[in-house]
Amino acid sequence: MDIYSSKFAIIIIIALVSILALQVMTNNSNSRQTIDSETCELYIMDANINAKKYLNEFDQKCLDFKNLNK
């Protein structure tokens, strides 16, 4: 098979797209985004290492609700 043929290019593109799709599917199942109830900060819970990674972003609805209770 010649590397300049169109069949080879199509096979390479299909292989790369399937690898990308596989990475996206496995990445979504390993982490989930949640909200810290005390600070209203968003974090990702990594299921592989069971640890929180804070995103330095805050949920506006949670902050508004906390301000109403003061």
Domain extents for the chain?
6-68
Rounded Cα–Cα distance for residues 28 and 52 (Å): 15
pLDDT value at residue 51: 81
Give pLDDT tens digits for 19-63. Answer: 999 887 776 555 567 888 888 899 888 777 878 888 888 888 888
Cβ–Cβ under 8 Å, residues 36 and 49: no
**Res 55: pLDDT:** 87
Which three-class secondary structure state does DSSP give residue 40?
Answer: coil
Please give the distance of CA 26 from its chain centroid, rounded to a whole number: 10
Residue 8's CB: how many other CB atoms inside 10 A?
A: 12
Tell me: pLDDT of 12 over 90.
yes
